[in-house]
Structure 1
Amino acid sequence: MKSPIYQIFGSENSLDVDLVFFVEEMPETILEKLIISKELSASIKSFFPEKEINANLAVCKNDHLVEVYKGTTDELNNALFYTYHFHEQKFENQITKLLVRDIDLKFLRCTRMILSFVSKTEYRVLVKKALKGNLDEKIQALETIDLNTITSFGKGNAKEDILKSIAFQLGQTIALSEGKELYTKNQIAASFPDLRKYLSREENVDLNDLQKWLSIFVELLKIRMLSMNNTSGHKYEDENDFNYAN
């Protein structure tokens, strides 16, 4: 197999290795994407013997991403650019053009991700119905959830890992609504100090601060929803003309 071009991104102190493999064309099916990402990960596993590789696939043209396997094109594009120098890289930065962020899409994805994180808890019936429903139903579900009442996030899901993911998404989304792009745990913790304990995976933490930011997120979402042109989980490349950020 030809040595793949890849780029590490994200938090400089991540426990895993988050990276993107650049492919000429995106595979058509989810199964094909999964198989290729696993094959490419295996081909470089010897470089990261003690870490788990979280691989993504992306198509890059004209120095910016035009399609991705997981996540959104604008977020991954800018994350690759901004966090390049936080890691020891084998290849030059493939991204030289920033994309204008789709803030509505970030709010919608954050909503779905948080609901998915609690889909195996005491709220599973409510959440599964909301995930199939419209944005109003998702908001109602978020308003109902009290993180302090959750005893387990499901078999195989470490509580600290889920809380870290929720804190990351909340901080990143709220910051973006304020015009700030944050792509690492340290950046989010600096802007939201009371999220640091969750981002650091501290054990036996009080969840009041996380619940507070969840409530703030919901209120921002309710306001933002009023001016959204699309309240479904659209794809960035289908809604935008790849406007470049300054």
Structure 2
Amino acid sequence: MDTSLLQAPYYFFGSANSLDRDVLLECEHIPDKQTSQGWINAYRQHHQVSWNINLITIQDGVIVNTIPSKSTIDGLNNALFDTYGLHTQEYPLPVTRKVKRHLLLNIYRCIRTVLTFCTRTHYRSAIRPTLNGIHPFHHKLDSLELLDFTTLTSFDAKYTNDIDIWKTIPFYIGQTLALLNEVEIYTKDALVGSFPQFANFIYRQPLTLGDIAYLQQTKKQLATILRTLPFENPESGILIMGNEKIDMSLEVAL
């Protein structure tokens, strides 16, 4: 690996009260996914840390690339800008301004994330054929509408436990609903401030039937709004809404 990365600037971001430490590690360039993961593993081992690390590159005061791509680049940029001050930092804030959010890409990420978490449930046969980016977008909306969280007892995921999935799904849904109203949410407390009934999910507390019913209701609200938006799917893998355009297979803005 590039040994200079071991001393690269890093920035904590996100919720101040998170159980995990989310970190952005700045580098001059980002290699392919496999090499990047090797760099991240080497960094953790060298510094004896268990941080959740994203590599980032910055140009002209904004984040222009990241890997792993757990968040959209625009969302990561604004999350660091908004939450940098919530943490004790070793390096000055490198981001000088917020950027316009890419609404379409974030909507797509939300839908695909929610559906992916449900691919090992009894909805598997309905969801799996719609997940690939080459499939028509309206099939993904159909699958989102089909989901009923009140019927789920476990997500049966291989690498993620249920409590983390129950936290992530309402976070994505809440963030997306807020973004549709031009509100950006980047912390657990901010999400619960907008959606108080998500508190048990977000803070990993025991869930009640009422909690899950509320999540189902909120998911239906999101699906209803999405049905009113002017999506265009003119060719395989391409999705357009207004002046925004994405590649669904790569999950990138065009």
TM over 0.5: yes
1:42 to 42, 45, 66: 45
User: Equivalent residue for 1:25?
Assistant: 29
Segments of structure 2 that go 5 or more residues without pairing to the other structure are: 233-240
Q: Is the 8 Å Cα contact of residues 9 and 91 (structure 2) preserved in structure 1?
A: yes
**Counterpart in the other structure of 2:55:** 57
What number of residue pairs does the alignment pair up? Answer: 231
Amino acid at match of 2:219: L
Alignment match of 2:17 (pick from 10, 13, 16)? 13
1:152 aligned residue: 154
Amino acid at match of 1:58: I
Per-residue CA deviation, residues 39-77 of structure 1 (Å, 9 max, x unaligned), is 2233333xx5xxx41111111011111111112110000
Change (3 A) 1:200 1:143: same
Aligned to 2:217: 212
Aligned to 1:189: 192
Aligned partner of 2:65 in structure 1 is 67
- List gaps (5 residues or longer) in structure 1: 240-246
Alignment partners' CA distance in 1, 2:170 and 2:197: 10
Deviation at 1:164, TM superposition (A): 0.6
**2:169 aligns to what?**
166
Q: TM-score, normalised by structure 1?
A: 0.88
- Distance in 1 between residues matched to 2:230 and 2:106, nearest whole Å: 12
- Deviates most, 161-170 or 122-131: 122-131
RMSD, aligned α-carbons: 1.6
Q: Secondary structure at the match of 1:83?
A: helix
Q: For 1:78, give the aligned amino acid.
A: N
Deviation at 1:225, TM superposition (A): 4.1
- Say which structure, 1 or 2, has more relative contact order (CA 8 Å, 6+ apart): 1
Return the TM-score normalized by structure 2.
0.86
Identity of aligned residues (%): 30
Q: Secondary structure at the match of 2:183?
A: coil
1:103 aligns with 2:107: no
* Amino acid paired to 1:26: I
Q: Distance in 2 between matches of 1:145 and 1:220?
A: 16
AA partner of residue 173 (structure 1)? T
Mapping of residues 124-143 of structure 1, within 5 Å: 124-132=124-132, 133-143=135-145
Aligned to 1:243: none
Distance in 1 of aligned mates of 2:246 and 2:57: 26
Q: How many angstroms apart in 1 are the aligned matches of 2:185 and 2:206?
A: 24
CA distance in 2 between partners of 1:165 and 1:58 (Å)? 22
AA at the equivalent of 1:74: D
- Shift of residue 128, structure 1, vs aligned partner: 1.2
User: Residue 181 of structure 2 aligns to which amino acid in structure 1?
Assistant: E
The one-letter code of the counterpart of 1:134 is P
Answer whether contact 1:121 1:152 (CA < 8 A) is retained: yes
Query: Do residues 178 (structure 1) and 195 (structure 2) align?
Result: no
| Matched letter for residue 178 of structure 2 | A
**Residues 225 and 19 (structure 1), Cα distance of their counterparts in 2 relative to 1, 3 Å cut:** farther
More off after superposition, 218-227 vs 107-116: 218-227
State the Cα distance separating 1:105 from its structure 2 match: 0.9
Q: State the AA in 2 paired with 1:220.
A: I
Q: Which residue of 2 aligns with 1:82?
A: 82
| Cα distance in structure 2, aligned partners of 1:231 and 1:143 | 22
